[in-house]
Structures are given as C-alpha cells and as structure tokens.
Amino acid sequence: MTNIIAIANHKGGVGKTTSVQNIGVALSQLDNKVLLIDLDPQANLSDSFGYEDAETSIYDALTDKGPAPIHKISETLYLIPSNLDLSVAEVELSNIPGREYVLRELINGWKDDYDYVIIDCPPSLGLLTINALTACHEVYIPLDAQYFSMKGLDKLMFILEKIKARLNKEVEVTGVFLTQFDNRLVLNKNIAEMIEDYFPNKVFKTRIRKNIALVEAPIDDQDIFAYAPGSNGAKDYKNLSIEIVNAHNKA
C-alpha cells in the first residue's frame, strides 16, 4: 500500500520543508520509491532540489492546465515542484465544486507507483493545506521546540477534526516530532513532555536537533546526506526515517 503523508503545521518556519526533503531522501535511500509534492507557493522544497522557478508545477495539474511535471531526482526519488503560479490556485479553485478533493484525485492517478507520497504544506490552513489533508492518510506535525504554541496546535487539530468528519474519514495524525531541539535547554525538555501529554504514543522518539548544516544544505541545492553526511542533521533524519519505516512495517 502507498503511504500518503502530509507534513503540516500552519505555523511558519517549524521545519516542514526541511523534513519533507530529508525524510524523502532518507526513505528513498532505504529502498522505498518516494514522490514528494511541493504544495507551497513559496516553492522552498523545489528550490532545495535545484528547481528554482520551475516552468510547470503542481499548479498546472490542480487547475487542469496540463499534466503534473514529475521530475526524477534519483532512481527512487521523484518531485513535483511548485512555483509562484500556485499562489493564485486557491482563488481559482474556490468556485469549483469538490475543490477540496482536487489533489486527492490527482494522487489517486499515480499513487500505486510509489511506496510513499509526501506533501509539503504551506504555512496556512487555506485550501491548499485542506487539499493535502483531504488527500493523505497520515499527517505528521513538526513542532519547533523553541517557539512551541499550544494555541496554534488546537487550531490545527480543530481543522483536522472537521476534515475527518466531512472530507476524509481516514486521516490521522500518526507522527509528531520536535525540530530545532536543544537538549541543553530546560524549556525544550519541558516542551517535549507537554507534547507527549498532548499526543500520547504519537511522538517520534527521534528529535531533530538544531544543526546549522540543515540550513546550509538547501542553499547549496543539496539534501543533508549529500551535504554533510556525518552531521547531527543527517543522523537525526536517518533515525527518524527508520522509525517511520518501522511504524509502517508494524501496521
């Protein structure tokens, strides 16, 4: 079965894109066939793979203007990029019946070709994120251990409940993980405990530590494993991806 995972948090800068890139690469290196979808008009994921200003993007497929461009990154890793066009997709889709299901329908057409489809969501709870949450089976929520907000989390969980009731019965939050983690800070440890309480049995054991190589790698159009294979960032994303594979093998 294909695992369709949306990495979502409407809070900006929590590590969604960094996680989609590096979990995607790690899963592909663990012998899975992986499709990454950049659903953010900022197109940071596309940039981080060297697809700046892609000529065609997921926008074309969402708005029926053409096929989705599926770029081959490696034998087992594929990317559908975004570009700035996507910033008008929410307006264009807003009058279309079934507008929440457009991405789901597209993914249905390809999903059997992949072990994992991972969607990078924008930092909002608008129609693009709703499309991602309607298309996926699982939601992973990255949380920034430094600027954690319980209030923000309540809002995301409220929207998810509505989506589960009305649009996608299958959807579950199956993974939560901490990013930018600093073990030396008492605050970070307290936040880790609060999150365990909020999401019992859903928090991945691996915490993504604060690591400057994770900032540098995408600037160089590289993933962390190519850029700094010995870094904490590479170790943490590898361990997190092993946890992800184990969780799916168990299910």
Ligand X SMILES: Nc1ncnc2c1ncn2[C@@H]1O[C@H](COP(=O)(O)OP(=O)(O)OP(=O)(O)O)[C@@H](O)[C@H]1O
Decide whether 111 or 128 has the Cβ nearer to ligand X: 128
Of 18 and 168, which CB lies nearer to ligand X in the complex structure?
A: 18
Q: Binder to Mg ion among 3, 21, 44, 83 (CB under 5 A)?
A: 44
Q: What distance in Å separates the CA atoms of residue 119 and residue 7, rounded to the nearest whole number?
A: 6
Alpha carbon distance 207, 83 (integer Å): 31
Judged by beta carbon, residue 32 or residue 44, the one nearer ligand X is 44
Structure tokens at 15: 């590590």
Q: Which does 180 bind (CB under 5 to 8 A by kind): ligand X, Mg ion, none?
A: ligand X
d(CA 247, CA 243) in angstroms, rounded, equals: 6
- Rounded Cα distance, 177 and 203, in Å: 6
In the complex, least distance from residue 66 CB atom to ligand X, rounded to whole angstroms: 25
Minimum CB separation of residue 67 from Mg ion in Å reads 24
Pick the closest to residue 199 from 124, 133, 143 (CA basis): 143
Does 11 bind Mg ion (CB under 5 A)? Our answer is: no
Choose the one of ligand X, Mg ion, none that binds residue 12, judging by a C-beta under 5 to 8 angstroms depending on kind. ligand X
Q: Which of residues 27 and 45 has its CB atom nearest to Mg ion in the complex?
A: 45
Residue (123 or 126) nearer to ligand X, CB: 123
Residues 239, 144, 249, 110, CA torsion sign: negative
Candidates 36-44, 68-76, 153-161, 186-194; binding stretch for Mg ion (CB under 5 A): 36-44
Indicate which of Mg ion, ligand X, none lies near residue 18 (CB less than 5 to 8 Å, by partner kind): ligand X
CA dist., res. 235 & res. 113, Å (int): 28
Q: Which of residues 119-148 bind Mg ion (CB under 5 A)?
A: none
Least separation, in Å, of the C-beta of 83 and Mg ion? 14
17 binds Mg ion (CB under 5 A): yes
Dihedral of alpha carbons 39, 13, 213, 118, sign: negative
Query: In this chain, which stretch among 16-24, 68-76, 150-158, 224-232 interacts with Mg ion, using CB under 5 A?
Result: 16-24
| H or E element in which residue 199 lies | none
| Smallest distance from ligand X to CB 199, Å | 18
Q: Tokens 């770029």: give the residue.
A: 71
97 SS3 class: coil
Give residue 141's identity as a one-letter amino acid code: I
Phi/psi zone of residue 64: left (φ > 0), alpha (ψ -120 to 50 degrees), beta? left
Q: Which of 10, 11, 16, 207 binds Mg ion (CB under 5 A)?
A: 16
Q: Which residues bind ligand X (CB under 6 A)?
A: 12-18, 40, 42, 44, 123, 179-180, 208, 210-211, 214-215
The CA dihedral of 73, 74, 76, 81, to the nearest 10 degrees, is: 0
Contact positions vs Mg ion (CB under 5 A): 16-17, 44
